[in-house]
Amino acid sequence: MIKIAVAGCTGYAGGELLRLLAVRDDVEIGALTAKSSAGTMLGQHHQHLTTLLEREVLDTTAENLAGHDVVFLALPHGASAEVAATLGDDTVVVDAGADFRLESAADWAHFYGTPHAGTWPYGLPELPGQRERLASTRCIAVPGCFPTTITLALAPALQAGLVDGHDVVAVAPTGPSGAGKALKPHLLGAELMGSASAYGVGGVHRHVPEILQNFRKLGAAAPSISFTPVLVPMSRGILATVTAPLTSPLSTRDAREAYAAAWEGEPFVRLLPEGLWPQTQSVLGSNYVHVQVAVDEQAGRLVAVAALDNLTKGTAGGAIQSMNLALGLPETLGLTTMGVAP
């Protein structure tokens, strides 16, 4: 049995980790910890975790997190390093936060304004060579949900040289669960239902440097991106429309062939059959990513669309996928359910 703990269990990422892990035969749910909610009952925070409702939330201490095979960190930005330092060397540590994603300390400083904690192997097995790296690590930095979506949308085009990563434009409607359970007025249901709103406009979103870092890994020499997230009335999901100038004229058929070749055999990324375009409902609660691509001749741009569930493949599912690799388990273990639609 793999004994796991979740530090920061009361938030949405923590809840999704437990939803996926609690039904596994090979996993034992160990300590569930939080700071301000220590002493409460898990069901007060996650009423959907039917089999765990009466579990007590413990304090996030070294003692409580000791003795687990895997510890998931679902903590606010900047809090992971301190907790990670208390864990044993043989513990697999999976950080669902941003702390260890960026390789550039300057990028970190620019976007977060705090000291850079370091860089851990990046939990996106679909990047070239990354699956192997994750198989031999004890520390995993789970990617951000937008970088995962946008990177998977454009990766085949970058790798095949159809686009060069310059002047990419991405607009991505998403639901509020990506923002966590923060008690902010603009995240209230009354504000969000029936409304679409842009935020983080103009290059200020913290996921921008992570996206560019991924583009570079995929061969882009001088990537640039205009990225705009949009809040829309659904709890979960990201639908990214990603366009980039074509390096040379191309047909939609050729673009589809490059994508088909690139994603052939990938367990969780699916190029949809021709004529079908991604929709977030189709991947709700699942670890799948749905992708489609077309060429807009008039605009001279490739247009790729990708849909995923920000809490599953975008956070907790992706985290477990990487954990499976680090533990030498089948990569898809516990992650094969399909989207809950309609």
Q: Which residues are catalytic?
A: 145
CB of 252 to its own copies, least distance (A): 7
Q: Is 239 in the site for its own copies (CB under 8 A)?
A: yes
User: Binding marks (x or -) toward its own copies, 252..291, rule CB under 8 A?
Assistant: x-----------------x-xx--xxxxxxxxxxx-x-x-
Q: Is 8 in the site for its own copies (CB under 8 A)?
A: no
Q: Would you state the structure tokens that stand for residue 41, as one six-digit string?
A: 């009952």
Name which position in 141, 295, 308, 316 contacts its own copies (CB under 8 A).
295
Signed CA dihedral, 31, 33, 37, 39: sign only = positive
CB of 329 to its own copies, least distance (A): 16
The DSSP 8-state label assigned to residue 315 in this structure reads I
HSE-up of residue 214 (Cα within 13 Å, Cβ side): 27
CB of 88 to its own copies, least distance (A): 30
Signed CA dihedral, 20, 138, 5, 95: sign only = negative
User: Binding marks (x or -) toward its own copies, 50..69, rule CB under 8 A?
Assistant: xx-xx---------------
Output phi, psi for 200, to 5 deg. Answer: 55, 35
How far apart (Å, rounded) are the C-alpha atoms in residues 218 and 232? 30
* The one segment of 113-121, 127-135, 153-161, 172-180 that binds its own copies by CB under 8 A: 172-180
Q: Is 104 in the site for its own copies (CB under 8 A)?
A: no
CA distances from 289 to 148, 151, 162, 271, 335 (A): 10, 11, 21, 8, 12
| Pairing between β-strand 289-296 and β-strand 301-308 as defined by DSSP bridges | antiparallel
Q: Is 150 in the site for its own copies (CB under 8 A)?
A: no
State which residue, 54 or 89, has the beta carbon closest to its own copies. 54
CB of 253 to its own copies, least distance (A): 12
